[in-house]
Amino acid sequence: MRSSRKVRITALLFLAPTIIGLLVFRLVPIGWSFALSFYDWKIFDTPTFVGFGNYAHIFSSPTAYKVFLNSAYFSAIYVPGSIGLALVLAVLLNNGLRSSAFFRGAFFLPYITSTVAVTLAWRWIFSTKFGLLNNFLGWLGVDNAPAWLADPTWALPAVALVSIWKDVGFYMILLLAGLQTIDPTLYEAARVDGAKPIQRFFKVTVPLLTRSLFFVMILALVRSTQTFEITYALTNGGPNRASTTLAFYVYQNAFVEFEMGYAAALSYIMCFILGLFTLTNFYFRKRWVHDG
């Protein structure tokens, strides 16, 4: 059945919605906005052609530079942080105990709760004087706890932490599902060979979970570049842009300053980098993902 004409026609039919949708609702708007990245366009005004003006400006702008670095830093915390935590939680919950359903639900809850509403609670937790965190640290004897959200060193990690908290339950569920595909007899065999739990984790669990891990990693990478609401409600990108990531900067340019051309140019530089990164990942996929 490999490549008969019938299969090709079926494939084409199956992919028809994807192709049409990709064309009309993805590629046309993307091409359009890509073209706009060569214009100076206040949304409510007429566009003027500026050639590579927006791109040239971005490459010479210290602000854009800072924002790109912030984004890389954010992803560097968020992607491994959320996947690592999700993996630990998934492994702990993959035990068939009845209570696991409760914990799964509890950990998944942040993912479905209104961001603005819960972020308000986080602002209080991080509050310098009245915050839960600093009062707890004070109780432990820490005197000079930082002003988390107003401190250039801590603001971005704080935003990343809340983002991890929000999404980790989602990744946990995906990994839990993957864990259930692992044949229990493999553990038994490893134990007979004298493997300790930690060894079993690295020798049995992780290798057999690579397919799920790869999927979750790409997903987390995409999400790490789209953070907006949490930043908005937690730090507003501050102090002094310390927690402004690209998605937030794009939003600021698009919908507060209405510089749509500039926002588009920023986006396409980001897409170029991420696209390259993702495709590289797929290229190296075979090296570490065990396709069952």
Considering only residues 186-215, where is the footprint of other proteins by CB under 8 A? 187-188, 191, 197, 200-201, 204-205, 211-212, 215
Is 82 in contact with 220 (CB distance < 8 Å)? yes
Min dist CB 80 to other proteins, Å, is 18
The interface region with other proteins, picked from 72-80, 137-145, 228-236 by CB under 8 A, is 228-236
Site for other proteins in 83-112 (CB under 8 A): 89, 91-97, 99, 101-112
Options 9-17, 74-82, 137-145: segment touching other proteins (CB under 8 A): 9-17
Per CB under 8 A, 218 contacts other proteins: yes
Number of residues near other proteins (by CB under 8 A): 148
Rule CB under 8 A: say whether 288 interacts with other proteins.
no
Cβ 131 to other proteins, closest distance in Å? 5
Build a one-symbol-per-residue string for 231-250: x at contacts with other proteins by CB under 8 A, - elsewhere: -x--xxxxxxx--x-xxx-x
Q: Phi and psi at residue 150, in whole multiples of 5°?
A: -105, 10
Which residue in the set 49, 84, 113, 288 belongs to the binding site for other proteins (CB under 8 A)?
113
Q: Under the criterion CB under 8 A, does residue 45 sit at the interface with other proteins?
A: yes
Q: Which residues pair with 246 in a beta bridge?
A: none
Q: How far is CA 77 from CA 72, 81, 155, in A?
A: 9, 6, 13
Q: Are 157 and 77 in contact (CB under 8 A)?
A: yes
Binding to other proteins, residues 249-278 (CB under 8 A): 250-252, 254-260, 262-264, 267-268, 270-271, 274-275, 278
* Nearer Cβ to other proteins (20/72): 20
Cβ-based nearer residue to other proteins, 3 or 286: 3
Q: Which of residues 67-86 bind other proteins (CB under 8 A)?
A: none
Euclidean distance between the first and final Cα of the chain, in Å?
21
Q: Identify the residue among 77, 125, 137, 145 touching other proteins (CB under 8 A).
A: 125
- Biggest distance spanned by C-alpha atoms of the chain: 73
Radius of gyration over every alpha carbon of the chain, rounded to an integer in angstroms: 23
- Asked if residue 41 lies in contact with residue 47, where contact means CB atoms within 8 angstroms, the answer is yes
Paired residues of 49 in beta bridges: 39
Smallest separation, CB 286 to other proteins (Å): 13
Dihedral sign computed on CA atoms, order 19, 21, 23, 26 = negative
Q: Please, what is the minimum distance in Å from the beta carbon of residue 48 to other proteins?
A: 11
For residue 134, what are the contacts with CB-CB under 8 A and spacing of at least 6? 127, 128, 145, 148
- Alpha carbon distance 9, 108 (integer Å): 41
- At 49 the three-state DSSP class reads strand
